[in-house]
């Protein structure tokens, strides 16, 4: 039996109950002092308890030590100082050590998860030291004996299992990174495990792709060999992913170690049945499973067989592209993401599956179309979809409940989650079996769920849990009452004996009240004193005086009450506590039996949980498609990219909430034959919607390849092997890189890695340097992508000269953002038209942005002079083909003042009446 379960069955330490009176002390002890079985005097040094603490802390120097003392986890010394500051709780002191006060703070055990979550989010790691024996046993060893304690768990960002510490709708991966090979042949192998669900992934990436791969997995913690901390690629990619970095000794990374750990974890003699593993895989697995064993103190989580994410079967998306498209992480706090826009799941597991598909779009057209068939079936049969979603709303998170039970960290509520999840699974399986629509994706889910619908072992387990558990299940095993009446005759008998004592206690209380004449006399209970008689201070004399003093023995005096006991009450207490203790022990034994029964079927339960998650994901995609009027894309292996009426999913919903409407636009990038564009140059003024247009087409590709309907009126998407989207500008000051250098680094990655099956989205290449340099770079980049890479792409630019590429390159074309002018300002139509833009409208955009009028007016003058070939301070010669937009504009610079200004200059304002002033304003307005 694990130490955690031993503690849950042990009697609480005296003075450490969670009841309101738990901290009430005998008269000789201050009520503010936390009483524990090994309480130390403030004047003593190096007490046995403190010696024990220092010994445990020495074994875990890099962790904040949560040291269990009754109903509190206490922290001492530097740990207390750090925790008090991070948590905003009071720092106190307790005794002395080496002549110095010992800093101390503490948190209640009942709320420890909340405090641990705050510490984990702030980068701390926590070691949890529990009491491993009943304090009564410690007392038998002598008056100075200390309750045995030791660390039962190390809490790190990647090893969380409690719901309070986790984000329900996303995986919490712990990843190990193994570097294999040298120079240009180096590969990074990744083993990732979510111990809260058992999901186990293997992947690998080249150095340029490592950042994107880690952002795809989004691990909470990354394990890396200490001697690789100097590897700039590994460290930079890990830090960019936002994960905590945990260095391990090189000895933890080894092929033999990984092979042995994998065999032990799945209890197999050979790995053939689990799949094929490279040396890099096994090296990463070895470090991963070693760390799990270390942090979980030897307890094994519920592991699913490792699944390899083959790079060739996924659309590769690099780190810059993921940031540009805001798939799951917004660039601005509180902004919507693509995930938030399309998430209509009703369970946490379904949300995790949706996120997994979104960040890992498939490059396998067969799998994509299987997923689309499932979505189509639930769109067509909306009544089936509604019934399934209604049932799924009652399904708890079985995967995480199963993991906690496997780690001996579960409670009755986890058994209840398994029960309710299996019940929901059976109901959903019955619905699917009766449905005429049976696409492969739904049929697979039905097969996985069918294990719990008949008279087989799975069905028997579901029915057993139904009979065993009450409807609303408590959280902890020490909270009795979760086993249903009628399930176990022995438990029922013990409960009846314990419950009958309530009647006896009520009668004894009434007898004592009548005997003493104190009608307010009560018989109460807490874990410090057990049962006692309580009266108000004003009534205490009635029990202390004759003739009652011989019967009632004084026990404690408080400010608001006086407590007594009697021999009769003490004898009754002994009988009651024996019955209650036996009942609790029997209930916990039944909990252990039920947990073992669940774990015997852990693989089938995990498959059922995954099936429900997939159904929720598909149902949510069908819901969003129907509500938002999405269309099924045609997905194949062609080079087509044909979208009609495409929309941006997040922007469209934001506009709809504000009462507006999104204007859909077409995008044709088929590249199928002479003069059919595979590359489009997008021009138009700022704020006209170029970036939105670029992003929405990239997102339509992502949504289509994840197996979702897309926001468009029609779409034909040839599978892209890689997606590159460089939109927006940012510097990297921490690494000493300017905005332009970041842009060029990302552009270089695109040019070196894109293939003819890739989709490339570029915004304003070359704008971070001088005009000639920027235009030259942009021109050369587009020529390379067109001639050498031959990929599909969209490029937005303010360099009007780039529109000439459509005349020279057979697969290039031009589109522009439509605008119109009205009263010296511009109106954005947010529509895409064929052909190049002929003006930038930069000055008008500056005016709309609120630039002062005098600055706008001066800019117009300078613009007119530049377009006429002269600078604002004299002749300026520019090559005729180099202005940003070289089409002539009818601006005429003049030094003559405006007629309206002339009239205003001659006015005698003081002589005007109000009516004359108003008439003059109307007249001047007509002259403007």
Q: Kindly state the tokens that stand for 874.
A: 């004299």
69 is in an annotated binding site: no
User: Between the CA of residue 180 and those of 205, 206, 233, 279, 280, what are the distances in Å?
Assistant: 11, 10, 13, 9, 6
DSSP assignments along 137-203, one per residue: HHHHT-TT----EEEEEEE-TTS---GGGS-TTS---EEEEEEES-GGG-EEEEEEEETTTTEEEEE
Q: Kindly state the tokens that stand for 320.
A: 């810059």
Paired sense of beta strands 874-875 and 870-871, if any: antiparallel
- 895-900-905-910 Cα dihedral, nearest 10 degrees: -170
Name the strands in the sheet holding 641-646, side by side, starting at the edge strand that comes first in the sequence. 634-636, 714-718, 641-646, 665-668
DSSP state of 108: E
691 is in an annotated binding site: yes
Cα–Cα nearest to 633, from 569, 538, 567, 704? 704
Are 319 and 215 in contact, with CB atoms under 8 Å apart? yes
Residues 6+ apart with CB under 8 A from 503: none
C-alpha triplet 287, 293, 294: angle, nearest 5° = 85
Are 184 and 203 in contact, with CB atoms under 8 Å apart? no
User: Between the CA of residue 183 and those of 180, 186, 192, 206, what are the distances in Å?
Assistant: 10, 6, 25, 11
> What are 317's strand-pairing partners?
723
Q: Round to whole Å and give the CA distance between 462 and 469.
A: 11
Instruction: Match 């089936």 to its residue by tokens.
Output: 384
685 is in an annotated binding site: yes
Q: Round to whole Å and give the CA distance between 103 and 75.
A: 8
Phi, psi of 433 (to 5 degrees): -65, -30
The CA-to-CA distance between both ends of the chain, in Å, stands at 91
Residues 6+ apart with CB under 8 A from 456: none
793 is in an annotated binding site: no
Are 318 and 221 in contact, with CB atoms under 8 Å apart? no
Residue 798, H or E segment: none
Residue 628, H or E segment: helix 602-628
Are 271 and 259 in contact, with CB atoms under 8 Å apart? yes
88 is in an annotated binding site: no
Instruction: Match 């404690």 to its residue by tokens.
Output: 556
Are 782 and 683 in contact, with CB atoms under 8 Å apart? no
CB atoms within 10 A of CB 30: 7
Q: Round to whole Å and give the CA distance between 126 and 155.
A: 5
Helices 232-240 and 210-217: crossing angle in degrees, nearest 10, is 30
Q: Round to whole Å and give the CA distance between 95 and 45.
A: 7
688 is in an annotated binding site: yes
Are 329 and 355 in contact, with CB atoms under 8 Å apart? no
171 is in an annotated binding site: no
Is 39 buried (19+), middle (13-18) or exposed (0-12) by CB count in 10 A? middle
Strands annotated E in 17-131: 64-69, 72-76, 92-97, 100-108, 126-131
774 is in an annotated binding site: no
Q: Round to whole Å and give the CA distance between 869 and 877.
A: 6
Are 708 and 646 in contact, with CB atoms under 8 Å apart? no
Q: Round to whole Å and give the CA distance between 444 and 611.
A: 8
Residues of the binding site: 684-691
Annotated binding residues for ATP: 684-691
């Amino acid at each position: 039996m694990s130490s955690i379960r031993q503690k849950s069955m042990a009697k609480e330490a005296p003075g450490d109950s969670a009841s309101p009176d738990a901290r009430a002390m005998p008269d000789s002890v201050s009520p503010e002092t936390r009483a524990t079985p090994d309480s130390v005097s403030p004047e003593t040094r190096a007490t046995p308890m403190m010696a024990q603490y220092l010994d445990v802390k020495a074994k875990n120097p890099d962790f904040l030590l949560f040291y269990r003392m009754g109903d509190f986890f206490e922290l001492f010394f530097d740990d207390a100082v750090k925790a008090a500051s991070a948590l905003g709780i009071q720092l106190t002191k307790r005794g002395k050590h080496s002549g110095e006060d010992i800093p101390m703070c503490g948190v209640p055990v009942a709320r420890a998860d909340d405090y641990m979550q705050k510490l984990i989010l702030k980068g701390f790691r926590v070691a949890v030291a529990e009491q491993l024996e009943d304090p009564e046993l410690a007392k038998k060893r002598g008056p100075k004996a200390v309750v045995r304690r030791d660390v039962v768990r190390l809490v790190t960002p990647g090893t969380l299992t409690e719901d309070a510490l986790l984000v329900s709708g996303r995986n919490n991966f712990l990843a190990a990174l193994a570097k294999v090979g040298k120079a240009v042949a180096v590969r990074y192998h990744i083993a990732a495990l979510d111990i809260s669900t058992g999901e186990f992934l293997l992947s690998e990436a080249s150095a340029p792709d490592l950042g994107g791969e880690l952002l795809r997995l989004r691990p909470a913690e990354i394990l890396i060999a200490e001697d690789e901390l100097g590897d700039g690629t590994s460290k930079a990619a890990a830090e960019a992913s936002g994960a905590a970095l945990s260095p391990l000794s090189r000895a933890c990374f080894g092929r033999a170690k990984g092979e042995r750990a994998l065999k032990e974890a799945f209890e197999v003699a050979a790995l053939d049945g689990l799949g094929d593993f490279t040396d890099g895989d096994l090296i990463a697995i070895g470090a991963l499973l070693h760390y799990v064993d270390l942090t979980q103190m030897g307890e094994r989580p519920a592991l699913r067989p490792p699944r390899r994410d083959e790079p060739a079967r996924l659309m590769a998306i690099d780190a810059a592209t993921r940031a540009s498209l805001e798939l799951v992480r917004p660039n601005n706090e509180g902004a919507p993401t693509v995930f938030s826009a399309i998430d209509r799941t009703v369970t946490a597991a379904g949300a995790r599956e949706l996120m997994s598909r979104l960040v890992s779009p498939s490059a396998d057209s067969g799998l994509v179309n299987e997923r689309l068939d499932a979505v189509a079936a639930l769109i067509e049969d909306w009544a089936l979809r509604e019934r399934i979603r209604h049932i799924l709303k009652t399904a708890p998170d079985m995967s995480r409940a199963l993991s906690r039970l496997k780690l001996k960290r579960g409670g009755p509520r986890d058994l209840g989650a398994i029960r309710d999840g299996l019940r929901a699974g059976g109901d959903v399986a019955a619905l699917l079996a009766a449905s005429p629509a049976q696409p492969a994706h739904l049929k697979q889910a039905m097969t996985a769920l069918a294990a719990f619908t008949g008279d087989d072992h799975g069905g028997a387990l579901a029915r057993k849990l139904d009979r065993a558990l009450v409807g609303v299940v408590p959280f902890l095993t020490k909270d009795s009452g979760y086993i249903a009446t009628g399930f176990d005759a022995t438990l029922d008998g013990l409960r009846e004996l314990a419950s009958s004592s309530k009647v006896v206690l009520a009668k004894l209380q009434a007898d004592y009240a009548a005997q003493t004449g104190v009608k307010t006399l009560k018989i109460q209970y807490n874990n410090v004193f057990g049962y006692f008689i309580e009266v108000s201070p004003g009534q205490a004399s009635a029990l202390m005086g004759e003739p009652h003093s011989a019967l009632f023995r004084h026990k404690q005096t408080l400010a608001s009450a006086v407590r007594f006991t009697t021999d009769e009450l003490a004898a009754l207490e002994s009988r009651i506590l024996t019955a209650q203790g036996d009942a609790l022990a029997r209930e916990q034994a039944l909990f252990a039996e039920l947990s073992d029964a669940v774990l015997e079927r852990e693989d089938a339960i995990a498959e059922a949980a995954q099936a429900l998650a997939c159904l929720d994901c598909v149902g949510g995609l069908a819901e969003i498609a129907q509500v938002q009027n999405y269309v099924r894309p045609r997905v194949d292996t062609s080079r087509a990219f044909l979208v009609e009426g495409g929309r941006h999913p997040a922007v469209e919903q934001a506009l709809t909430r504000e009462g507006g409407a999104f204007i859909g636009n077409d995008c044709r990038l088929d590249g199928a034959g002479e003069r059919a564009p595979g590359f489009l140059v997008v021009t138009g003024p700022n704020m006209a919607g170029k970036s939105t247009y670029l992003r929405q087409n990239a997102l339509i590709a992502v949504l289509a390849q994840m197996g979702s309907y897309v926001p468009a009126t029609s779409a034909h998407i040839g599978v892209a092997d890689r997606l590159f989207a460089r939109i927006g500008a940012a510097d990297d000051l921490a690494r000493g890189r300017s905005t332009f250098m970041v842009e060029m680094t990302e552009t270089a990655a695109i040019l070196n890695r894109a293939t003819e099956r890739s989709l490339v989205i570029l915004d304003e290449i070359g704008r971070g340097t001088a005009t000639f340099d920027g235009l030259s770079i942009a021109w050369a980049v587009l020529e390379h992508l067109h001639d050498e890479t031959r990929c599909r792409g969209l490029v937005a630019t303010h360099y009007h000269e780039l529109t000439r590429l459509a005349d020279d390159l057979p697969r290039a074309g031009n589109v522009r953002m439509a605008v119109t002018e009205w009263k010296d300002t511009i109106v954005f139509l947010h529509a895409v038209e064929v052909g190049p833009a002929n003006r930038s409208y930069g000055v008008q955009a500056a005016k709309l942005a609120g630039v002062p009028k005098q600055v706008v007016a001066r800019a117009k003058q300078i613009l007119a002079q530049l377009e006429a070939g002269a600078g604002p301070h004299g002749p300026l010669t520019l090559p005729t083909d180099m202005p940003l937009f070289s089409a002539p504009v009818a601006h005429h610079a003049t030094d003559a003042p405006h007629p309206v200004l002339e009239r205003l200059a001659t006015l005698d304002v003081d002589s005007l009446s109000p009516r004359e002033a108003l008439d003059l304003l109307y007249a001047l307005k007509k002259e403007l």
